[in-house]
């Protein structure tokens, strides 16, 4: 199939080849992808996007493989985006995550795609967010994004996922150092994988202690402010009471997730911390309870109205990043490079200062845009 055969209708019909081709077009930033993406826009917003992140060696790929199997057992269509690091020398990637998920290769209800970071920081590929929108519109119920092994600053997953699962394991040395500020603050569900190893209970205790401290100190800013949740607790606005009743009819895990979100939104003294689940991905132990907690968080987001708030904030951030990328692309043009060189010489010669140079560059770019509009 060539690029010209890719259409929104084929993607929505579940054509895996068309979906794969479109994601390839996204990766190489092919301008022809935009018409298809625009046509798919009206059909998105239904998938639950789950981010799986954590340090290298935490078993994220094996865990993702088991999560896919459990979700398929619940009748869900699942797509996986596995992000692999690129070589700094060749730009290529091993794309080894797919090797661990080969058992799903013949399942029409599962789509697995590897993306290389291609130098993009933050634990994701630049193409990840557009790929998620494609898979959402293609009708997948759950889209799982497995990030590269992350440290304390690779937190871009929080800008795409509805629910973030932070995976840790015993034996990392200073366990708290591996999961502290930055990454620690983005987790909605915490998973201690390889829980059959020595030290697993200690890791669970340390994570819970850190979460309790963060909540008591008001550091869990990811959940505030949640006006919908505040109304839901009081039952004094619109269908907020219905939201509370909807969660009350759920199981203990879903109620716990709901109260975790709403308690932090309202400053309620009886704060609950996010769940910490032990798993052994190799054997499948704990996978069912982990999926229960993920789905409980999804239900709580929907019941409180915070799902829309979170997605709105994420889209605002992404639009800002997209605008910045367009500016950078403009600066790559020959005429812009000449302007940059001239301004750099003026700053070095002390003819103008750095800030006047920025203003002059902005004015030049505005003139270029106006000329392009009137042409």
Read off the pLDDT of residues 270-304 as tens digits, 9 standing for 90 and up. Answer: 456 788 999 999 999 999 999 999 999 998 888 88
| pTM for this entry | 0.79
Supply the angle between the helices 227-234 and 240-248 in degrees, to the nearest 10: 80
- 115 vs 334, which has greater pLDDT? 115
> Which residues, including other chains, have CB under 8 Å from residue 12's CB and lie 6 or more apart?
40, 43, 137, 138, 139
- pLDDT at residue number 241: 41
Top-confidence residue, 151 or 293: 293
When pLDDT is averaged across residues 187-203 and rounded to a whole number, the result is 93
Instruction: Give the pLDDT band (50/70/90) at residue 266.
Output: very low
* pLDDT of 344 higher than 70: yes
**Any idea of the CA torsion for 51, 54, 56, 57, to the nearest 10 degrees?**
-90
Averaged pLDDT, 244-254: 49
Predicted local distance difference test score (pLDDT) of residue 223: 44
CA 266/CA 225 separation, integer angstroms: 8
Mean pLDDT to the nearest integer, 91-110: 70
Mean pLDDT within 214-230: 48
Query: In the predicted model, what is the mean pLDDT of residues 78-100?
Result: 65
Question: pLDDT tier at 232 (50, 70, 90 boundaries)?
Answer: very low
Q: What percent of the chain has pLDDT over 70?
A: 71
Question: At 46, is the pLDDT very low, low, confident or very high (cuts 50, 70, 90)?
Answer: very high
Q: What is the pLDDT of residue 137?
A: 95
Q: Which two structure tokens, joined as six digits, stand for 265?
A: 């939104």
Question: How many CB atoms sit inside 10 A of residue 297's CB?
Answer: 28
Among 95-99, 213-217, 274-278, the minimum mean pLDDT is found in 95-99
Quick one: pLDDT at residue 305? 83
Summary mean pLDDT of the chain = 79
Higher pLDDT, 3 or 94: 3
Summarize the confidence of residues 158-182 as an average pLDDT.
75
Structure tokens at 295: 């789905």
Task: Please count the other Cβ atoms lying within 10 Å of the Cβ belonging to residue 149.
Answer: 14
Q: What would the mean pLDDT of 349-367 be, rounded to a whole number? A: 91
DSSP for 108-170, please give it.
TTEEEEEEE-TT--SSS-TTHHHHHHHHHHTT-SEEEEEPPP--SS--GGGGT-SEEEEEE-S
What pLDDT shows up at residue 181?
52
Task: Identify the pLDDT of residue 124.
Answer: 63
So what's the pLDDT on residue 221? 44
Q: Is 144 a residue whose pLDDT tops 60? A: yes
State the Cα–Cα distance between residues 125 and 154, nearest whole angstrom: 12
User: What percent of the chain lies above the pLDDT cut of 90?
Assistant: 43
State the Cα–Cα distance between residues 158 and 313, nearest whole angstrom: 10
What pLDDT score was predicted for residue 182?
55
Q: What is the pLDDT of residue 333?
A: 82
**Could you tell me if 193 and 53 are in contact, meaning their C-beta atoms sit under 8 angstroms apart?**
no
- Among 4-18, 42-56, 87-101, the range scoring the smallest mean pLDDT is 87-101
pLDDT of res. 76? 97
**78 falls in which pLDDT band (50, 70, 90)?**
very high
* pLDDT above 90: residue 98: no
The pLDDT assigned to 252 comes to 53
């Amino acid at each position: 199939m060539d690029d010209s055969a890719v259409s929104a209708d084929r993607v929505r019909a579940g054509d895996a080849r068309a979906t794969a081709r479109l994601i390839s077009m996204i990766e190489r930033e092919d301008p022809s992808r935009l018409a298809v993406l625009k046509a798919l826009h009206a059909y998105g917003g239904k998938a639950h996007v789950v981010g799986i992140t954590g340090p290298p060696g935490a078993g994220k790929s094996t865990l993702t493989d088991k999560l896919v199997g459990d979700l398929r057992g619940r009748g869900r269509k699942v797509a996986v985006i596995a992000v692999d690091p690129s070589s700094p020398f060749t730009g290529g990637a091993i794309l080894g995550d797919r090797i661990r998920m080969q058992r799903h290769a013949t399942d029409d209800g599962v789509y697995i795609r590897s993306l290389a970071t291609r130098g993009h920081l933050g634990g994701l590929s630049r193409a990840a967010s557009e790929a998620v929108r494609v898979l959402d519109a293609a009708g997948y119920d759950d889209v799982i994004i497995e990030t590269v092994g992350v440290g304390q600053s690779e937190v871009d997953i929080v800008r795409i996922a509805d629910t973030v699962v932070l995976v840790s394991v015993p034996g990392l040395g200073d366990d708290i150092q591996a999961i502290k500020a930055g990454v620690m603050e983005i987790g909605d569900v915490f998973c201690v994988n390889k829980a059959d190893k020595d030290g697993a209970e200690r890791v669970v205790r340390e994570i819970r202690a850190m979460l309790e401290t963060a909540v008591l100190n008001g550091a869990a800013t990811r959940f505030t402010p949640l006006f919908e949740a505040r109304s839901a607790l009081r039952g004094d606005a619109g269908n907020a009471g219905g939201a509370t009743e909807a969660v009350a009819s759920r199981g203990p895990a879903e109620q716990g997730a709901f109260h975790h979100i709403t308690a932090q939104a309202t400053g309620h003294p009886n704060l609950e911390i996010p769940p910490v689940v032990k798993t052994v991905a190799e054997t499948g132990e704990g996978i069912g309870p982990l999926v229960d907690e993920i789905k409980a968080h999804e239900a709580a987001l929907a019941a409180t109205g915070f799902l829309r708030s979170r997605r709105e904030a994420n889209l605002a951030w992404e639009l800002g990043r997209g605008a910045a990328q367009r500016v950078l692309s403009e600066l790559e043009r020959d005429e812009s490079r000449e302007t940059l060189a001239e301004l750099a010489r003026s700053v070095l010669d002390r003819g103008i200062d750095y800030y006047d140079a920025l203003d002059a560059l902005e004015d030049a770019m505005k003139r270029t845009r106006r000329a392009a509009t009137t042409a």
